[in-house]
Structure 1
Amino acid sequence: MQSGIVSAPSTFRVGGVQYVAFQTGKGGAFPLVAGVAGGATRKVPNLPRLVVLKIGGTVKFPAPPATTTLAWNPPAKIGTPEQIAAGKAHFGRYCQVCHGDSAIGNGFTPDLRVSATLTNADAWKSVILDGALKDRGMVSFARVLTPQDAEAIRAYVIERSNWTKANLSDTAAPMGR
């Protein structure tokens, strides 16, 4: 199917011909909960689509789009161990529900370990506090986080990115198109 199957199949008949339909893509709760343990899911491309198969049909899927492993080049670690611990606590309370354990994402939400904003504190704060990506679903957390809290979260995500590079093979790297 060139991607994960994310729904149960449904079967139906039209004009005496039977079909089976289901959705493909990736996402859901598993990558959010599994964190780095779910690294194998990064190899599966996210190709969201509705697939309808005709029983006895012979049409084949087109070639899947090319995917590449992103370069894993985290910024240098920042912050004290206390700041990283505070960032982890804030991340767990405010970020983990969407970005998953260890900032990995689920295929629909970004893998923060490779975010371009990690290298720029002002860009990071513009997303976290100023709502720079609100049109893409990332709300501002300015009502509950201070600039110091946002920087502590950035230190934690940078630590996670560096930990991944040091401890896991390239198979844990996210996929891009």
Structure 2
Amino acid sequence: MEHRALRFDPPQITLHESPVGTLYLKYVEDVSKSNQGGIKHCRRKAVMHYANAENPQQCHIRMLQEYTSLCPPEGKQNAFYLQPRRKYEESAKICFTKQPMSQNSIQPVVPDLFRSAGIVGNFENHSRRVTAATSLYEHDVDEQLIMKRIEHRSVEGNQT
């Protein structure tokens, strides 16, 4: 549902520049009454992804800019994931319709990405957080940094 609710306007993903000139994307989630602690006590989750200068082909900023350039300008409002066009318009360079993808279309995307990357297992959208935490732990990243990144409040939560 989080992916289905992602939208361009009002933007949840914005482009920023750090004080040292590094570009990064910042995702800020919507506040919901289902957030832990209730709506009065919840903080909006904010996640930053920095530009990948070493490997521009895998840079989130470049990928987002390319994706948005292929979307119709008038369609980038209520949804982030737009349905692909059946016929590509070479002259217009528009690959997506104004219509949002359905939840059934979005759901298999993450498991397909895992399979394409050669990661074997039964994965769902939540699995990417667990996989990221495991990978960081295996590469000796500091547990406090892992906790911050995946938003666990205790070391025990990291180890589950």
Fold match by TM threshold 0.5:
no
TM-score relative to the length of structure 1: 0.22
The structure richer in helix per residue is 1
Higher relative contact order (CA 8 A, sep 6+): 1
Q: Which has the larger radius of gyration?
A: 1
